[in-house]
Amino acid sequence: MDRPIAYDKLAREERFVRMRAREVAELKVEQGLPPFPDLASRESMRERVHGIFVGELQAMEGAGRTVYDFPDAPWEFTLDMARQVWDESRHVEIYLRLLDHLDGYVGEFPETTILWRCACAEDAAARVAGVNRGLEGLACDVFNQLIHIAAKIGDPILERAVDFVLADEITHVRMGSRWLNELTRGDPERRKRAIDFQDSIDERFNLGGTRRDGAHDEVSISIAKDARRLAGFTDEEIERLVRSTQRSPVY
Amino acid sequence: MNVHPLAGHFSVEHSAKRIRQYRYVEERLMRILGGWIALTPEVPAKLVMGRHVWDCAQHADAWGKRLPELREAAHQSEPANEQVVRFMDLLEGREAPGETLERLTGVYRVLKPHLVTTYEHHLKIANAVYEPPTCRILARCLDEERRHVAAGGLILQRLATSESATARIADWEARLRQGLTGAGGITGEGDVAMPDTIDTAGTRPEQDVVILDPAFDAARIEPALAAVLDRHAAAVASADWARAEHDVAADARGNVIGEYARLAVPYRDFEVVALAKIGAFRTAKIRFSGPHGVAVVQVRCRRLDDDWRVVVAEIVRTEPAR
């Protein structure tokens, strides 16, 4: 097997429709829809859950590739990534069942591969910064809000299942913080490149102001400050993210 | 004959060597399974691999931590011989999207059953007085490897639905068994026979298995759109561009028919294999097959003038006939 593999080798069953993220966003904007589904209707809940399902699938695939792509990385790093593969495989199952719970189906909405592309960074430090801290940080925001909305609409199935996923994501962010530090110890240039990569992902997933600091029911994606603190983000990092959301251009 | 309770089969050095060999296989299998997930289309197969990556990692970790207790460096892996390396390379090599059957066969019908019998044999001959630390790891690995064999077998059974699939499995299994036998098994000692079956009773493999129907349910397509897609795909399959054009929005005809010009028409069959929504748009994936091969086309549709119209068409995959 190649180390790493080309982006377009990501294998899917026929029932998935893959589209470019920009194309999906443009089609939505053209129709006056938000680029990231709000949680205002059952259909938009389903669309968000479907988006999370494919995100978890790509997260599992990405973590699996990290186990394979870096045979010379510290053993403890590989162990953490292998653990993450298992966690993500459970998350895929959880979101498959939640899709069913919401009367949705696999392939109901298009799949984009931005997350997978982030998981293909050639440097292990960039991968953990971008995926474990950037994308799993985003997952903390999205899941925290989903739990809140589920409680509000009285859906204990959704609330409980996603709460357990959130607990795992917090663990993954911690792993990312640990390995960003350990893999770049004594190499400030490498560390800077990894953090720049994470910043570029944070910027991209601010989704033109969709992610913001604010109450769960007032903004589309609310920054989960408490969950992020628990995951090991510093107050300064959280503030930096909040500032970056304020300057994000419209998607 | 009475065997002295302190009589033993393995020296400390021999035991450590075996453990390095086990670790080589478990670690390498962990990496292979991890790497394959992205290359495997079928979700149930991806998920079973995802679950077993972590178990293999823990087995490798347990073996690696046992080594310092046997006067060796921790976390060292060592293949028994070059043939074992070649066997693992052979197993790893089936990475194409259409080779999931071979991937699962290699792991769940050859390597893991062999691991089960190897661990069983070791457990049977290990000394019960001074080797319990090794025996406990063996017992744990054995339990999990048996469960893996059962879980992988369930997925394989679901995927192998044709005679040709069964033949592929048998061919690949025979080839790998030959490689592994030639190596003398993973320890190179040739002391464990290749098993035909493994006793998996009581292993509860369902905890590792998510069964999903892989096919798209065409009944999910609303009738008016289904009628248009059917008519349009039939026209494309028979290269009747005038008829195909009828279902295309006026301002998109040039682009859509231009894209179809790249197809190796005619096709004998077509099938809608996926349908995704983006607001008012629907993107259908149509699979065409014929004497020249297969083409998969994504057509985006929208309601215009009270009927569905194709507004974009994109060929997303072509495969020559085999």
**Looking at residue A210, what is its pLDDT?**
79
* Residue B261, burial from CB neighbour count under 10 angstroms (0-12, 13-18, 19+): exposed
pLDDT in tens, A66-79: 999 999 999 999 99
* Closest approach of B60 to chain A, Cα-based (Å): 10
Angstrom distance (rounded) from CA B101 to CA B36: 12
**Looking at residue B97, what is its pLDDT?**
94
| Global ipTM | 0.95
Angstrom distance (rounded) from CA A109 to CA B282: 9
Lowest mean pLDDT among A87-101, B202-216, B291-305: B202-216
- Indicate if the pLDDT at residue A209 is higher than 80: no
Residues of B in contact with A78 (CB under 8 A): 30, 57
Residue A226 sits at φ, ψ, to 5 deg, of: -65, -45
pLDDT in tens, B154-180: 999 999 999 999 999 999 999 999 999
Lowest mean pLDDT among A28-32, A216-220, B55-59: A216-220
pTM: 0.95
Q: Which of B20, B27, B36, B43 to mutate to test the interface with A (most CBs of A within 10 A)?
A: B43
Kindly indicate the confidence band of residue B72, based on its pLDDT and cuts at 50, 70 and 90.
very high
Nearest to A64 among B34, B214, B281 (CB): B34
**Looking at residue A248, what is its pLDDT?**
55
For residue B172, give every residue at least 6 positions away whose Cβ sits within 8 Å of its Cβ, in sequence order, or none.
B94, B101, B102, B105, B106
Q: Decide if B35 and A68 are in contact by the 8 Å CB cutoff.
A: yes
Q: Which of A45, A48, A85 to mutate to test the interface with B (most CBs of B within 10 A)?
A: A85
Mean pLDDT, rounded, of chain A: 92
Q: Decide if A68 and B32 are in contact by the 8 Å CB cutoff.
A: yes
* Over residues A30-55, mean pLDDT: 90
* Closest approach of B25 to chain A, Cα-based (Å): 14
- Alpha-carbon distance values, B77 to B73, B74, B86, B220 (Å): 10, 9, 16, 51
Kindly indicate the confidence band of residue A250, based on its pLDDT and cuts at 50, 70 and 90.
very low
Residues of B in contact with A116 (CB under 8 A): 38
Residues of A in contact with B43 (CB under 8 A): 13, 57, 92, 96, 106
* Over residues B22-29, mean pLDDT: 98
Mean pLDDT, rounded, of chain B: 95
**Looking at residue A42, what is its pLDDT?**
86
- Indicate if the pLDDT at residue B7 is higher than 80: yes
